[in-house]
Amino acid sequence: MRHEVIASVQNPLVKRLHQLLNRKGREEQKRFLVEGAHLVEEALNSRAQVATVLYDESREIDPACLRAIDQRGPDVQVVAVSAAVLGKLTETKSPQGIVAEVKIDLANGAQWMEQASSRDYLLLALDVIQDPGNLGTILRTAEAAGVDAVVLGEGSVDPYNGKVVRATMGALFRLPVFHASLSETIQALQKQGARVLVSSLKENSLAYDEADYRGKTVIVIGNEGRGVSEQVALLADSYVHIPLYGRAESLNAAVAAGILVYEAQRKRIRQAVN
């Protein structure tokens, strides 16, 4: 595969794509960058709207990426660039030689809720998760656990932040994620019959393995520092907590989310079999 090489960081395409490294640029262009062979392959093989793939002309393209590019055909623009240009478009210390420009495709929350109203589901709601690594890990774990969708409350970190995208390991391309007011979304879901379980250490909180996760279930995880806001906590049908047997005062938000969604799914699967 041979393409004309873009060698200048002043090239208009390169300058436009460079803007996607910050949130303002992503919001204005409604696009984001994915770097690394695995994530580019995941984007190409998923429903993601990949617009452009740029590769270091001095390096071989990963065979799996090359196959995925060929399968996508002419819909994806493929551009050869110099190592200097690729360095301008990447955030990692050791770029893997390939970057993709992907159109942002956040799920429509109202549409998702309407479609889900007639079935059971497990939804994860995140109340101002601010650490990119935490959000990426939560999304990766939620997708692995079979969570049906994730709603990001106002004030949460941008899910298309480069660190978030890398931490998801491709889950972002497969898991419905939407921004919404948590209070409004929770009340709308409760009208559908959803049970809302808020992670909290309140006195009447149930141990996570004692909670009921049947039917339509929403699990709410709070901010890394202050937990779930009082406004959201007041909407809970139940509070759940993860017992701490050592001297630690709390668990990392991503770890807590993982424990809760896997316990919820374990019980849901067992109840379905029985």
Distance CA 210, CA 200 (A): 14
Query: In this structure, how many other beta carbons lie within 10 angstroms of the beta carbon of residue 271?
Result: 12
Please give the pLDDT value at position 174. Answer: 92
The one-letter amino acid code at 200 reads S
- Are the beta carbons of 104 and 32 closer than 8 angstroms? yes
One domain for residues 55 and 27 = yes
Mark which of 83, 103, 123 sits at the end of a domain.
103
One domain for residues 88 and 224 = no
One domain for residues 13 and 30 = yes
One domain for residues 92 and 154 = no
Q: Which residue has the tokens 């406004």?
A: 231
Q: Which domain holds residue 83?
A: 5-103
Q: Which residue has the tokens 């979304």?
A: 185
One domain for residues 153 and 258 = yes
Cα 77–79–82 angle (5° rounding)?
A: 165
CATH number, residue 121: 3.40.1280.10
Query: In this structure, how many other beta carbons lie within 10 angstroms of the beta carbon of residue 70?
Result: 12
List, in order, residues 6 or more apart from 51 with CB less than 8 Å away: 31, 76, 77, 101, 102, 103
One domain for residues 140 and 206 = yes
Query: In this structure, how many other beta carbons lie within 10 angstroms of the beta carbon of residue 24?
Result: 9
Please give the pLDDT value at position 90. Answer: 93
Please give the pLDDT value at position 9. Answer: 94
One domain for residues 120 and 232 = yes
One domain for residues 160 and 256 = yes
Please give the pLDDT value at position 143. Answer: 97
- Are the beta carbons of 13 and 79 closer than 8 angstroms? yes
One domain for residues 57 and 88 = yes
Mark which of 103, 132, 149 sits at the end of a domain.
103
One domain for residues 43 and 145 = no
Tens-digit pLDDT profile for the chain (274 aa)? Answer: 455 689 999 999 999 999 999 999 999 999 999 999 999 999 999 978 999 999 999 988 899 999 999 998 888 999 999 999 999 999 987 778 999 999 998 778 889 999 999 999 999 999 999 999 999 999 999 999 999 999 999 999 999 999 999 999 999 999 999 999 999 999 999 999 999 999 998 888 999 999 999 999 999 999 988 889 999 999 999 999 999 999 888 889 999 999 999 999 999 998 877 6
CATH number, residue 23: 3.30.1330.30
The count of structural domains within the chain is 2
Give, as one character, the DSSP assignment of residue 223.
B
One domain for residues 42 and 154 = no
**Percent of the chain that is helix, strand, coil (3-state, to 5):** 40, 20, 40
One domain for residues 181 and 51 = no
Please give the pLDDT value at position 103. Answer: 95
